[in-house]
Amino acid sequence: MTNKDILLEVIGDAGERFVPELTGKKKKHSVLKWSALGGVCAAAVIVCVIVLIKMNKNESAISPYVNLPQIGNSNTKSGTDKINPTIRFGEMGFEGLMAYDISELDTPNPWNPDLKLSSLPVYRNLAYNDFGEMVYLSEEQIREIAKNTASALKVDVIDTKITYVKDFEQGEVPDEILKSIYRIDVNCSDNTTITVYGDGQIRIEFERNTLPSGYNFSHNSTSKEEAQKVMDYLSDKYGSLLHYDNALCFSIADRSFSGVENRSYYVYDRSDEPVQSILNYNLSFSKFAPDDNGDLLCIWLNNPLCVSEYLGDYPIISVDEATEQLMNGKYFSSVPGDYIRNGRISKEGIAKIELVYRNNKVEYYQPYYKYYVELDSAAFNMADGLKNYGIFYVPAIDSEFLEEYKYFGEY
């Protein structure tokens, strides 16, 4: 370890009396994914589905992404490139959730096995690179997204700041990436800050955006009915920003091991076309977050397909075929093998199956079957009656179109 590394550590050990309090902005991140760590476990999930159908009332507003490709589900072609399905997980904890019964978990995922889909689209994420920096858009494109966002919010731009990858990155990173824009921060009137990232993601942060009285907006103490009311209001208020034709709001509430809810708030554009709906739900959704005072802290807008290349529609395997692979140990998961009941996944242990597209810094946006498998409860120090469901993924694309890869079922 170098001396400057040691100095950084020693500063971390500074006397407590010196460390300043952080007041004002508090960024609270809602938890979608939980890590069960030894005897202190994660969450029970209660999913509350709030269905709200609204027409976009502000027809004159333009979408922040208006001049970027909006990849829909028309003009399809058969995909031919081989796809790498490997999933890389983090090293801390594993993906799982806790519930008293799987029926507590309900999501508005538009996929269901009765759709009997035989193929699904795959996209290459043009912002992906091996160095972890999601960059692709030009300065002009990013500025336009920011300008359109400010316009939709009816705020004025005061100043902007560009952060290039080279401003914080070191090491052997190609010049092309170093010179790319990582993000542009735009300070606006009303103390609003718009941040647009190189992959097109938008983050809007408010200084004090108080909801009218009668709305209870929080992570920990908002009922599903209250959440519905909040999202009804916010989805309508920011309709010109979201630019959804058919906004569907939902919230998901996970619980800590002691039962306190931690609620997250989402909205996506539900389409009459099932595949488009699946893509919107998994990839192009928006997220609203409260601060500790019940005010609106920030809005995230995702539209990764605007920086993606459509590779084609690929044949997918059936749920039954995927389940057989799962039970034969051919899956991706962060769940340690020790936690699987009897050391092997059985059909009886499968509590729920979904089809999803993963969207966390991936090379390809491709479908997976996502399994919720009940784990060995004796392995966890949980409240009586709680069950722990580990998450397991099986690639949905037919293996004929997948690159050679190695399954790894545990870390």
Q: What are the residues binding another protein (CB under 8 A)?
A: 2-22, 24-29, 31, 33-35, 37-38, 40, 42, 90-93, 131-134, 161, 163, 165, 167-171, 173, 182-183, 185, 220, 256-260, 262, 291-292, 360
CA 126 to chain centre: 18
CB of 8 to another protein, least distance (A): 6
CB of 361 to another protein, least distance (A): 8
Measured from the CB atom, the residue of 310 and 357 that comes closer to another protein is 357
**Which among 33, 21, 142, 148 has a CA at the least distance from the CA of 95?**
33
CB of 310 to another protein, least distance (A): 25
Could you give the CA distance from residue 246 to residue 152 in angstroms, rounded to a whole number? Answer: 18
CB of 264 to another protein, least distance (A): 11
Could you give the CA distance from residue 300 to residue 288 in angstroms, rounded to a whole number? Answer: 7
Backbone angles phi, psi at 111, to 5 degrees: -80, 145
Tokens coding 137 = 């858009």
**Which among 275, 248, 266, 411 has a CA at the least distance from the CA of 337?**
411
Measured from the CB atom, the residue of 359 and 399 that comes closer to another protein is 359
Measured from the CB atom, the residue of 22 and 378 that comes closer to another protein is 22
CB of 76 to another protein, least distance (A): 32
To the nearest 10°, the Cα dihedral for 72, 75, 77, 83? -20
CB of 17 to another protein, least distance (A): 8
* CB within 8 Å of 251: residues ≥ 6 apart: 48, 50, 224, 227, 228, 231, 263, 264, 265, 266
Measured from the CB atom, the residue of 33 and 352 that comes closer to another protein is 33
Measured from the CB atom, the residue of 169 and 273 that comes closer to another protein is 169
Could you give the CA distance from residue 131 to residue 182 in angstroms, rounded to a whole number? Answer: 13
Measured from the CB atom, the residue of 54 and 358 that comes closer to another protein is 358
Measured from the CB atom, the residue of 177 and 340 that comes closer to another protein is 177
CB of 231 to another protein, least distance (A): 20
Longest alpha-carbon distance in the chain: 64
CB of 223 to another protein, least distance (A): 17
**Which among 29, 32, 28 has a CA at the least distance from the CA of 47?**
32
Measured from the CB atom, the residue of 27 and 208 that comes closer to another protein is 27
Could you give the CA distance from residue 39 to residue 178 in angstroms, rounded to a whole number? Answer: 43
Measured from the CB atom, the residue of 233 and 300 that comes closer to another protein is 300
397 within 8 A of 85, measured Cβ to Cβ: yes
CB of 130 to another protein, least distance (A): 9
Which contacts of 171-178 are long-range, i.e. CB under 8 A and separated by 24 or more positions? 173/131, 173/133, 174/131, 177/129, 177/131, 177/133, 177/135
